[in-house]
Amino acid sequence: MKLVAGNSNRPLANAIAAYLKTPLTECLVRRFSDMEIFVEVRENVRGEDIFVIQSTSYPANDNLMELLILTDALRRASARRITAVIPYFGYARQDRKTLPRTPISAKLVANLITHAGADRVLTVDLHAGQIQGFFDIPTDNLYAAPVMVRDITKRYTDGNITVVSPDVGGVVRARSLASRIDAPLAIIDKRRDRPGESEVMNVIGNVTGRHCILIDDIIDSGGTLCNAAHALIEKGACSVAAYATHGVFSGGAVARIQASKIDTLVITDTIVPTEAVRVASNIEVLSLSALIGEAILRTSGEESVSSLFD
């Protein structure tokens, strides 16, 4: 087994390598003057089981091209099997036609990764589970929920918790986590007039006097979570925390969250935290290196990955 890392999330790649006690394969990824990407794998990988660790986060197109070119280089170097480990799968929110004459970009990206030469894909908390079906190769979708549950149970010991989905689309995710900690579920009914903007309409469920925990997969502008937190406090919640897997944080999202009613926002390291995130007083980061590392180990050993979440 060998680990190869692109430039999108070196800290996470190093942490995964440390967990597996396997050094990263020496690999050069650089740009020509016109920003073309050049890759050189400087170790023999013939017949090896290769895991390429690369999130397709900002800058999404550059990081996606790095992944594709790394995969092609490894395939041409006669690697036995190539698994694309994509902690954050970019373009996942474009998983359907929302308007006439619009693309399904998630499917296009899946095709690109497959045709580049990947044999498997391993990712974390896809925005929509059905994206697994966009790939014509085996795809494992890991869940950050076990890591979040451990953190929640350490913080809240009185059991006075309500798990809240910030929108109807996230109910399955929130219900799954609520069942793990034996907590009731509430739902925010909202209306989104345009991308990046949302208006809270109603809170479904009893949140009065409860510690509310908002669960989401992606934080982009932060508007959804901030509006939800404000609505929960107005409905009598005694505190609001939030957990999300992928911290995209576009625009003024970090400042918006710091000024909101959210006491603590906990994200994971699938995307490298920016300096603004690292110094934010109410944002904390959990590492998924052990979870991803264990999934890599089980994949390499042809063992069950799904049993990680039983």
> Same domain, yes or no, for 76 and 195?
no
Residue 134 sits in a domain whose CATH number is: 3.40.50.2020
More confident residue, 309 or 243: 243
Mean pLDDT for the stretch of residues 259-283: 96
Is the confidence at residue 198, as pLDDT, over 80? Answer: no
175 is in an annotated binding site: no
Q: Are residues 261 and 175 in the same domain?
A: yes
Give the residue-averaged pLDDT of 140-148: 95
Q: Is the pLDDT of residue 127 over 70?
A: yes
* Structural domain count of the chain: 2
Chain-wide mean pLDDT for the chain? 94
- Predicted confidence at residue 183, as pLDDT, reads 95
* 34 annotated to bind ligand: yes
Query: Which residue out of 107, 190, 235, 261 is catalytically annotated?
Result: 190
3-state secondary structure 247-289: ECCCCCHHHHHHCCCCCEEEEECCCCCCHHHHHCCCEEEECCH
Q: Is 306 annotated as a binding residue?
A: no
> Is the pLDDT reported for residue 288 higher than 90?
yes
* Token digits of residue 278: 């690292």
Same domain, 236 and 204: yes
Q: Has 261 been annotated as catalytic?
A: no
64 and 156 in a single domain? The answer is: no
Q: Degrees (nearest 5) of the Cα angle 272, 5, 267?
A: 25
Same domain (yes/no): 279, 149: yes
Whether residues 230 and 263 share a domain: the answer is yes
**Is the pLDDT confidence value at 238 over 90?**
yes
The predicted model scores a pTM of 0.93
182 annotated as ligand-binding: no
CA–CA distance, 145 with 223 (Å, rounded to integer): 22
Residues 96, 83 share a domain: yes
Structural domain boundaries, residue 157? 145-287
Residues 102 and 192 in one domain: no
Compute the average pLDDT of residues 226-245. Answer: 95
6-61 pLDDT, tens per residue?
A: 999 999 999 999 999 999 999 999 999 999 999 999 999 999 999 999 999 999 99
pLDDT computed for residue 129 by the predictor: 86
Asked if 150 and 283 sit in the same domain, the reply is yes
Q: What distance in Å separates the CA atoms of residue 69 and residue 16, rounded to the nearest whole number?
A: 22
Assess whether 105 and 218 both reside in one domain.
no
On whether both 302 and 279 belong to a single domain, the answer is: no
In this structure, the answer to whether residues 255 and 299 fall within a common structural domain is no
Q: What is the pLDDT of residue 200?
A: 62
DSSP H or E stretch at residue 110: helix 105-116
